[in-house]
């Protein structure tokens, strides 16, 4: 049995079940929804796990809650720090605050204003930086040097196990799925999902914007790409896939599909037409990938993790009204 | 035991439980959500029953499904007809279509375009009319004369029993509520809710826009107001309360609170800030009423039925950006 505090070992489904026990009192058990007309249009059955209805508006609250709860279990005191384009930052701010800690969040200057405002609202302290991976990491290094505890956004077992609890719940709520599809950014969600799915005999597929397809490229060349310039409206998926995340993806993810910006916009609109909910672009890559690959999914029973709802309604309108 | 087809008798909780058995295979069991920060702000605990995530984006699908299912049980064949500002029309269109029937929907010309589009998308046939109660009723009378079966939007036991299933589920999902708050328009939702709540020993409170407060006025004068000119952004609450609905409200509803247009706008924004979901103005009157009556609700445990999500995001922005 692995100890989830030992980050040299890949966690398994058992650690994810433990993470779920640990956080279930503070997270929401988000609903799973489907709609027949959409299924008919897509020619498959799709069950959406609504993690955009999670506290702080994104699945990230699961990983942050697990990491914070483990600090308590390990008797580690102190404030926490991270870098984030927004959702992990807000999630960490709330999870820390519920535990009586302060969260320091390094955010790129081009982060969405509503994501910056949310970090602040949940009690986080914001440290703006240039919008590069190097600047984000340097900002975090300074906070760690000041004595804060780093809670990385995805490349960490505690985070991966927390994010995996979304799929764990999904498989309990809808037990007969054949395939689960999740978006790929830093890889926290997809790697946790793949570990649970693998244990449950469910195939995992990823979806990535073509403008931030470092994971698809890494899989193709059999080695993790170490730098790239993301160019996509899906602000939550611009990060480079993490080292340990990529290892898990290589071992457990069947395929990572890529979608165009236009396809993301169309999927955002389709989701609203069907369910009357606004989702952020990062959430829509999965639905876009399903719509664009009918042969791959025809007749199958799919679970899809909708990852976040943190988009300004004005931005949602702007993005979806630009559909060609 | 009452027969729900006998519309001369007021139904009871048992008919609502039967309605739930009848429709549970086609409705969504919508989630109940809460958020600590909002509770702290309101100084009470609020559990939101998310009927805006019901199929067709509103609780109306429950009543329509029950009415259509009962047509089948009673072996009544034929297409159906109704008048609706939108949500009941869309709900009836989908419920009818799932049962192999066509729905004819008389809609006022000033109905929200997305509500008109939704009726069409779910397969309904639209008949536009002038935006008056008389024109709506005349339009429906013509369709009935043509041989269609009228499914009224609220003043009917089958509809009331269907709408009551939302509260039935809410009380199962969150068993220890003291008060349930629902919006009041034609009165279908509040009357079904009050019948279930009364049986469960829970107090029912209503909320109405001050610009369409015919029910509050009717309660005050002890007699149903028979005409009034609604003036509110809450397009789903402009209808005059139904006859049988008013009787049930008089018997089982503790109080109907009224809120201003500004308070509705603020509540729409507050709901989005808290949960990242857009709700239509009609849905926000309950939250507005709670926020405006802190003494009434301090320390209590409330259930609130959020009724619909059918608002164009552009209209949501327009309404909420006009907050003074």
The answer to whether the CB of B184 falls within 8 A of the CB of B208 is yes
Interval A275-289: pLDDT, tens:
999 999 999 999 999
What is the pLDDT of chain B when averaged over all its residues?
95
pLDDT of residue B195: 98
Q: Percentage of chain A surpassing pLDDT 90?
A: 89
Structure confidence by residue, pLDDT tens digits, B148-187? 999 999 999 999 999 999 999 999 999 999 999 999 999 9
How far is CA A237 from its chain centroid? 8
A66 pLDDT higher than 60: yes
Model confidence at B86, in pLDDT bands (50, 70, 90)? Answer: confident
User: Which pLDDT band holds residue B8 (cuts at 50, 70, 90)?
Assistant: low
pLDDT in tens, B28-49: 999 999 999 999 999 999 999 9
What are the structure tokens assigned to B301, written together?
């445990």
Mutate to test the interface with B, among A276, A278, A321 (most CBs of B within 10 A): A276
Question: Residue A77's pLDDT is what?
Answer: 95
- The CATH T-level fold of domain A13-58+156-321 is Rossmann fold (3.40.50)
Does residue A229 surpass a pLDDT of 80? yes
The confidence score (pLDDT) of residue A228 equals 87
Q: Where are the domains of chain B?
A: 13-59+156-321, 60-150
Is CATH 3.40.50.1100 correct for B60-150?
A: yes
Tokens 């791959």 sit on residue: A296
Q: How many angstroms separate the CA atoms of B289 and B309, rounded?
A: 19
Q: Among A195-199, A282-286, B84-88, B237-241, name the one with the lowest average pLDDT.
A: B84-88
Instruction: Determine the pLDDT at residue A227.
Output: 84
Place of tokens 């709330």: A94
Contact B49, B165 (CB under 8 A): no
> What is the percentage of chain B residues whose pLDDT exceeds 70?
98
Residue B1 has pLDDT above 60, yes or no: no
Task: Tell me how far apart the alpha carbons of residues B306 and B52 are, in angstroms, rounded to a whole number.
Answer: 6
A78 at the B interface (CB within 8 A)? no
B115, pLDDT greater than 60: yes
Are A33 and B35 in contact (CB < 8 Å)?
A: no
Mean pLDDT of chain A: 95
Q: Is A53 helix (H, G, I), strand (E, B) or coil?
A: helix
CA distances in angstroms from A74 to A3, A5, A8, A78, listed in the order given = 12, 9, 17, 12
Nearest to B157 by CA among B255, B70, B50, B250: B70
Query: Looking at the complex, does the CB of residue A277 fall below 8 Å from at least one CB of chain B?
Result: yes
- For residue B311, the model assigns a pLDDT of 95
Is it the case that residue B2 has pLDDT exceeding 90?
no
Average pLDDT over residues B133-144: 92
One fold for A13-58+156-321 and A60-150: yes
- Best of B276, B280, B321 to substitute, by most chain A Cβ atoms within 10 angstroms, is B276
- Closest residue in A to B34 (Cα–Cα): A28
The answer, yes or no, to whether residue A239 has pLDDT greater than 80, is yes
Give Cα B108 distance to the centre of its chain: 18
Share of chain B above pLDDT 90, in %: 89
Pick from B52, B278, B310: CB nearest A278: B278
- What ipTM, to 2 d.p.? 0.94
What is the tens place of the pLDDT at every residue in A71-106?
Answer: 999 999 999 999 987 899 999 999 999 999 999 999
Architecture of domain B13-59+156-321: 3-Layer(aba) Sandwich (3.40)
**Closest A-chain CA to B273:** A118
């Amino acid at each position: 049995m692995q100890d989830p505090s030992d980050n040299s070992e890949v966690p398994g489904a058992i650690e994810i079940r433990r993470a779920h026990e640990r956080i279930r009192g503070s997270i929401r058990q988000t609903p799973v929804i489907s709609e027949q007309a959409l299924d008919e249009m897509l020619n498959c059955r799709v069950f959406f796990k609504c993690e955009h209805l999670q506290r702080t508006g994104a699945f990230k609250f699961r990983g942050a809650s697990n990491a914070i709860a483990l600090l308590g279990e390990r008797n580690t005191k102190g404030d926490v720090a991270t870098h984030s384009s927004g959702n992990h930052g807000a999630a960490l701010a709330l999870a820390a605050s519920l535990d009586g800690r302060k969260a320091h969040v390094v955010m790129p200057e081009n982060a969405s204003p509503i994501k910056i405002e949310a970090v602040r609202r949940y009690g986080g302290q914001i440290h703006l930086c240039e919008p590069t991976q190097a600047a984000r990491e340097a900002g975090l290094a300074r906070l760690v040097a000041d004595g804060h505890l780093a809670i990385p956004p995805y490349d960490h077992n505690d985070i991966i196990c927390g994010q995996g609890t979304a799929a764990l719940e999904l498989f309990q709520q809808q037990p007969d799925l054949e395939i689960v599809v999740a978006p790929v950014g830093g890889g926290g969600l997809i790697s946790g999902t793949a570990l649970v799915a693998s244990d449950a005999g469910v195939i995992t597929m990823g979806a990535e914007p073509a403008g931030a397809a470092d994971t698809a490229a890494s899989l193709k060349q059999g080695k993790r790409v170490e730098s790239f310039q993301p160019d996509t409206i899906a602000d939550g998926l611009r990060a480079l896939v993490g080292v340990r995340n990529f290892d898990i993806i290589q071992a457990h993810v069947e395929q990572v599909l890529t979608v165009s910006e236009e396809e993301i916009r169309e999927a955002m609109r389709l989701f609203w037409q069907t369910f009357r909910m606004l989702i952020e672009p990062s959430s829509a890559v999965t639905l876009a990938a399903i719509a664009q690959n009918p042969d791959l999914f025809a007749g199958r029973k799919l679970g899809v993790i909708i990852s976040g709802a943190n988009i300004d309604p004005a931005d949602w309108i702007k993005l979806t009204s630009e559909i060609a």
